[in-house]
A and B are shown apart, each in its own frame.
Chain A
Amino acid sequence: MSLESYSLRYALSVSLKRELLLAARQKSELFNPLLFFLVVVIFIPLGITPDKIFLAKLAPGMIWVFALLATLLSLESLFKADFEDGSLEQMLVSPLSLSWIVGVKVFCHWLLTGVPLTLLAPVLGIMLFLPADAYIGLMISLFIGTACLSLIGAIGAALTVSLRRGGLVLSLIVMPLYVPILIFGADTVNNLAQGLPYIFSLLILGVFFFLALLGAPFASAGALRISVTA
């Protein structure tokens, strides 16, 4: 193995370790989106109706919408701390490509937000009487979908990192890009619940994922550079 690729691997593993350590030592940020997700979904039967059939129809869309909002809630802090304490400057100055560092950060964000949301979703499905056939689709679509949400959200977070109250602007930037993911994600679960073919919407979600994976790290890196140098 060449020294160059070895040092790249080392740099990536060190970045990964740092992100996970930071997350492990700031647990409240980790649980905030999950708690939001849980609480909101618990409130739906209380606030709307406990009617089984009605809730079952509502469930796929509701779970998806709140998973999306929970992700959005956690996005603002993605680059904020690094921007404020100067770590971001060190990342920009380093010869390691910023896209790699962003990639690692987004992966950790998904691992610590998207994956727990996916794992929590079936529990909430039970609360909302989601039909039994739809669980596997719910998990798969959320697994891919939340990765898209993290990737695309990173672009918005990077663009707004230097703003003092960037949360609102971040939502405005990211929301239109989240619409197709929400539509096809919820569609997958709905189709499964009604026994219709679902593979088409799942495939489209997969295409979105690959597009986001190819584009988002570079776009976020560029946006971060602009935010720091401006």
Chain B
Amino acid sequence: MSLLRFDEFTCWRSDESLFNPVNFNLNAGEIVQVVGPNGAGKTTLLRCLCGLYDDYQGDIFWQNSPWRSRFYDFAQSLLYLGHNPGVKKSLTAAENLQWYTGIQKGIAAQLRIEQALAEVGLEEYTNTLCQEMSAGQLRRVALARLYASDRPLWVLDEPFTAIDIAGVSRLEQQLQKHVAQGGTVLLTTHQALAIEKVKNLTLEPCFDEVLLES
């Protein structure tokens, strides 16, 4: 069944479309990598999907109805991880995760939070303030959400940034486990994924305006 369908969809920035309109179908149980050169609008596309950007044309269909009209339902199945993951430096790892699951209207037991942090290799840092952590560890605090939440659709913008090799392969395993359980992943990364059956959503930058000017 079609979970998400992009229909002639493109994002605009200062009166220019960023990429040629895309038509794309995303089914439950798939991993889709958004590919395209820097500045092609990968991040903008993901932000737009999550309701964080409004300048777009075309439509996206969520379970066959326009997604903005059912945004509340859509948001209830969404886990979004952006460039700035929203980890507070003056809170501990566990406090950050508890807040996150709380505002997602999930109720996370302390045990589950500790498990999630252990999964990303932070079991020693549960009660450490995030300002005492490295960039990679901060990123791991954000990634622990993938283990603490039940959301079926994951939208991940550059999830591998600042993560070490072992961490990357564990994250890839988690993505595969998620889709094996019927979940869906939409991600951007410049790394080659060691995962089979990754679908590509290619964004072609729109150069029309530039050509006209030159």
Contact = CB atoms under 8 A, between A and B. Distances in A.
Interface of A: 6-8, 10-11, 13-15, 17-18, 21-22, 25-26, 81-82, 84-96, 101, 228-230
Interface stretch (B48-56, B165-173, B190-198, B204-212): B48-56
A86 B85 contact: yes
Interface string B59-77: 0000000000000100110
Contacts of A25: 90-91, 129
Contacts of A6: 107
A11 B99 CA distance: 8
A18 B88 contact: yes
Contact of A18 (B54, B76, B95): B95
20 contacts: A6-B107, A7-B106, A7-B107, A10-B102, A14-B101, A18-B99, A85-B87, A86-B86, A86-B87, A87-B86, A88-B86, A89-B82, A89-B86, A90-B80, A90-B85, A93-B75, A94-B75, A95-B75, A229-B51, A229-B54
Interface of B: 50-54, 72, 75-76, 78, 80, 82-91, 95, 98-107, 129
B107 A85 contact: no
Contacts of A84: 84
Contacts of B107: 6-7, 10
Nearest to B74: A95
Contacts of B86: 82, 85-90
A87 B82 contact: no
Contacts, number: 91
5 tightest A-B CB contacts, nearest first: A86-B84, A14-B102, A87-B86, A86-B86, A25-B90
Nearest to A228: B52
B99 A93 contact: no
Contacts of A86: 82-87
A90 B103 contact: yes
Contacts of B129: 25
Given A89-B86, A94-B104, A95-B76, 5 more contacts: A7-B107, A17-B99, A89-B84, A90-B85, A229-B54
B95 A93 contact: no
Contacts of A89: 50, 52, 80, 82, 84, 86
Nearest to A230: B54
A8 B90 CA distance: 25
A14 B54 contact: no
Interface centre among A8, A95, A101 (most CB of B within 10 A): A95
Contacts of A85: 84, 86-89
A82 B76 CA distance: 21
A14 B88 contact: no
